[in-house]
């Protein structure tokens, strides 16, 4: 029985470790400026935790076999624990946990606490059960006022966001169902939510942030490769959560300007 347990524990450990080493279910290719540093931090954390995980499971299997039931076994004796050992592994865990946080926090903070670049593209992203809406401020660079009492989610578009059309700044605001941004330029995202908490997740940009009702959360990222990328909602937000996805299109500056001008002309 002890040997069987050892085999099962080691087998589960090695099989699950294999899928991570072989990267069977992995993140898509990173296409943003911070992807390399985020992936590096991710890999360091993963390797460290992987070593500890494998070592702990191997030891568990070994002890399950070593202390198996034997006819020659003596009665188990009570152990009061070992204070020195407990202090050592608690300290090591604390050093590892705090250390990884300290190393990773500048990467995390760079997308949040540093102000976005002056020439950044501004996009307001609103999560609503169960769609994403994207709003661009238009040529005036100013977002028009939105009012909760004007919100009409069933109408879609700018009416869903409650855009106050009497505000001059709202006249050139563009609301779309697809997010399009120019490549190589920082994108300043203002995240909002209408009803419940959603989470704006663009795996290829290594970008993920909750959208919380009542908050306007600023974050920024710089796409470095043109292409179409999937946007998902990473917060269980209701029955239609599974279909709450969108498309991020990263295009050249020229294409972006044309796309925006097209929407602008449509609106006038
Ligand atoms: Cu959602």
Q: What is the pLDDT of residue 16?
A: 92
Query: Which pTM does this prediction carry?
Result: 0.84
**Is 255 in a helix, a strand, or coil?**
helix
**CA of 231 relative to ligand 1 center, distance in Å:** 11
**CA of 17 relative to ligand 1 center, distance in Å:** 32
Locus of tokens 């985020």: 38
Are 107 and 42 a contacting pair, CB within 8 Å? Answer: no
Among the residues of the chain, which ranges form H helices?
2-21, 35-66, 83-110, 157-161, 253-267
**CA of 130 relative to ligand 1 center, distance in Å:** 6
E strand or H helix at 232, and its extent? strand 227-233
**CA of 235 relative to ligand 1 center, distance in Å:** 6
Which residue from 203, 195, 155, 197 is spatially nearest to 175, judged by alpha carbons?
Answer: 155
**CA of 45 relative to ligand 1 center, distance in Å:** 28
- Using alpha carbons only, what angle is made at residue 111 by residues 107 and 112, rounded to the nearest 5 degrees? 110
**CA of 194 relative to ligand 1 center, distance in Å:** 10
Q: What is the pLDDT of residue 10?
A: 93
| Integer Cα distance of 198 and 236 in angstroms | 7
φ/ψ of residue 119, rounded to 5? -90, 15
| Integer Cα distance of 203 and 35 in angstroms | 10
| Integer Cα distance of 157 and 165 in angstroms | 13
Q: What is the pLDDT of residue 205?
A: 95
Q: What is the pLDDT of residue 164?
A: 84
| Integer Cα distance of 17 and 19 in angstroms | 6
Q: What is the pLDDT of residue 83?
A: 93
**CA of 236 relative to ligand 1 center, distance in Å:** 6
Per-residue tens of pLDDT for the chain, all 268 residues: 788 889 999 999 999 999 988 888 888 999 999 999 999 999 999 999 999 999 999 999 999 888 888 877 778 788 888 999 999 999 999 999 999 999 999 999 988 888 888 889 999 999 999 899 999 998 888 888 888 888 887 887 888 888 888 888 888 888 999 999 999 999 999 999 998 999 999 999 999 999 999 999 999 999 999 999 999 999 999 999 999 999 999 999 999 999 999 988 887 7
**CA of 72 relative to ligand 1 center, distance in Å:** 60
Centroid of chain to Cα 30: 13
């Amino acid at each position: 029985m002890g040997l069987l347990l050892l085999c099962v524990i080691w087998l589960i450990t090695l099989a699950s470790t294999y899928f991570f080493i072989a990267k069977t279910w992995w993140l898509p290719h990173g296409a943003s400026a911070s992807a390399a540093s985020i992936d590096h931090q991710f890999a360091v954390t993963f390797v460290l935790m992987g070593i500890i995980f494998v070592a702990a499971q191997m030891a568990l299997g070994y002890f399950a076999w070593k202390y198996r039931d034997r006819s020659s076994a003596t009665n188990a004796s009570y152990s009061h624990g070992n204070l020195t050992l407990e202090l050592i592994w608690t300290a090591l865990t604390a050093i590892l946990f705090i250390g990884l946080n300290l190393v990773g926090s500048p990467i995390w903070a760079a997308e949040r606490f540093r102000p976005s670049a002056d020439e950044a593209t501004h996009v307001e992203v609103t999560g609503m059960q169960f769609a994403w809406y994207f709003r661009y401020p238009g040529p005036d660079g100013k977002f028009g006022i939105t009012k909760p009492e004007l919100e009409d989610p069933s109408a879609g578009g700018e009416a869903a966001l409650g855009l106050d059309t009497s505000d001059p700044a709202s006249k050139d605001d563009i609301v779309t169902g697809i997010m399009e941004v120019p490549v190589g330029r920082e994108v300043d995202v203002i995240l909002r939510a209408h009803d419940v908490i959603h989470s704006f997740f663009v795996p290829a940009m290594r970008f993920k942030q909750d959208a919380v009702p009542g908050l306007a959360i600023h974050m920024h990222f710089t796409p470095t490769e043109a292409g179409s990328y999937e946007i998902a909602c990473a917060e269980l937000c209701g029955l239609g959560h599974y279909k709450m996805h969108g498309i991020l299109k990263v295009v050249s500056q020229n294409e972006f300007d044309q796309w925006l001008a097209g929407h602008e002309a449509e609106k006038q």
